[in-house]
Amino acid sequence: MTSRLNPYLSFGDTARAALEFYRDVFGGTLTISTFSEFSDRDAPGADLVMHGVLETPSGFTLMAADTPPGMEYKPGSSISISLSGEDAAELHGYWDRLSEAGTVSVPLEKQMWGDEFGLCQDRFGVSWMVNVVVPSQANPGGSNGDGPVGRPAIPE
């Protein structure tokens, strides 16, 4: 197996709902293990998600877990998940679902580097960047799908 990089999200106690939501958005196979599968079934938090993995038909892998009782949960604001590619219909569909009941910081629209880009936070507080790559003949700036100079612009 080759090495791969994928996001791993932590939740207070909503990992199952979040992973099911992301499965509804992206499709794929969701595997969830609870704390009760590996410890006392009657312990506090036994039904929380110890480890969840979503493998999507597009090749995305998203992992998540709930914070076990006794550990502090610190919602993160320093991570965003980036989706990029040339399939505008697919990416707009993801955007519509992810931004629904969430907060849009940057509307998904054409940006100065020629691609469409949007930034939103979904209803679970996770930040998403969506970059729709414009084909190279219409984008002489040479975007690689990650915005100008290798990354999307993030508003200050």
Q: How far apart are CA 136 and CA 119, in angstroms?
A: 23
Tell me the domain boundaries of the chain: 8-66, 80-143
* pLDDT over 60 (residue 36): yes
* Torsion sign (Cα): 16, 22, 27, 30: negative
Q: Please provide the DSSP assignment of 79-103 as one string.
A: -EEEEEES-HHHHHHHHHHHHTTSE
| Of 25, 29, 16, nearest in space to 97 by CA | 25
Q: How far apart are CA 141 and CA 107, in angstroms?
A: 21
Task: Write the class of the CATH domain 8-66.
Answer: alpha beta
| Mean pLDDT score across all residues of the chain | 85
Q: How far apart are the two ends of the chain, measured CA to CA in Å? A: 39
* pLDDT in the model for residue 91: 95
Q: What residue type is 90 in one-letter code?
A: E
Three-state DSSP class for residue 108? strand
Intrachain domains 8-66 and 80-143 with the same fold: yes
* pLDDT in the model for residue 80: 84
pLDDT in tens, 111-136: 999 999 999 999 999 989 999 998 87
Give the global pTM. 0.73
* pLDDT over 80 (residue 140): no
* pLDDT in the model for residue 99: 97
pLDDT average, residue stretch 14-32? 97
- Which numeric CATH code is attached to 80-143? 3.10.180.10
Write down the number of H helices and E strands in the chain. 2, 8
Three-state DSSP class for residue 138? helix
Three-state DSSP class for residue 137? helix
Q: How far apart are CA 88 and CA 67, in angstroms?
A: 35
